């Protein structure tokens, strides 16, 4: 066997191993997300400082469908999805939906961001607890943005890591009662 054939064979085996490893990792991640644990803390007992109003008590949001979104001003996909969430909140509010954007960020950048974009959806400051809370709600990777939809009873029924789309929100509207 020539040296060239040996090198090409080893490269092919290495590439196949990387492919198999990547596939297994993605399978484990999707299995982790699909089997995300139920809320292990009482989300409804929490309170967050709102950016522009009185503190928001999560208990006041129970009883209607809720879209809870974890985001930050330094997160590019978060910045892109925020106008969509704002439109969703305005359009679906009359139909019973509530939206709360929990910023995992510092107060000043969040206040500037909300003011510059004239966002009307409720925005609160989650601080350090935000990432931990998102993990407990099924965000095993700890990435942003992360959204959770709760049904009327307060049960987390949908989760999504990454920016939401109009199609995803429309699908959730049909499944969250």
Q: What is the pLDDT of residues 43-96, one digit of tens each?
A: 999 999 999 878 999 999 999 999 999 999 999 999 999 999 999 999 999 999
User: Could you tell me the pTM of the whole model?
Assistant: 0.77
pLDDT at position 14: 43
Which CATH number is correct for 43-175, 3.50.50.60, 3.40.50.2300, 3.30.2130.10, 3.40.30.10? 3.40.30.10
Domain ranges of the chain: 1-35, 43-175
Q: What is the pLDDT of residues 121-143, one digit of tens each?
A: 999 999 888 999 999 999 999 99
| Residue 21 to residues 24, 27, 32, Cα–Cα distance (Å) | 5, 10, 16
Answer whether residue 175 shows pLDDT above 60.
Answer: yes
pLDDT at position 83: 97
DSSP string, 26-85: HHHHHHHHHTPPPP-S-GGG-EEEESSSSPEEGGGGTTS-EEEEEE-TT-HHHHHHHHHH
Answer whether residue 36 shows pLDDT above 70.
Answer: no
């Amino acid at each position: 066997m020539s040296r060239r054939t040996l090198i090409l064979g080893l490269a092919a085996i290495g590439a196949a191993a990387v492919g198999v490893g990547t596939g297994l990792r993605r399978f484990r991640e999707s299995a982790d997300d699909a089997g995300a644990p139920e809320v292990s803390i009482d989300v409804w007992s929490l309170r967050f400082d709102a950016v522009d109003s009185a503190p928001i008590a999560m208990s006041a949001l129970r009883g209607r469908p809720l879209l809870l979104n974890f985001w930050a001003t330094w997160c590019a996909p978060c910045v892109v999805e925020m106008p969509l969430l704002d439109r969703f909140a305005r359009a679906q509010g009359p139909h019973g939906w509530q939206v709360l954007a929990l910023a995992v960020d510092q107060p000043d950048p969040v206040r500037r961001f909300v003011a510059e974009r004239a966002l009307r959806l409720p925005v609160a400051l989650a601080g350090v607890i935000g990432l931990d809370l998102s993990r407990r709600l099924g965000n095993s990777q700890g990435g942003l943005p992360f959204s959770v939809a709760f049904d009327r009873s307060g049960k987390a029924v949908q989760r999504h890591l990454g920016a939401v789309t109009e199609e995803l929100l429309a699908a959730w509207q049909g499944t969250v009662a």
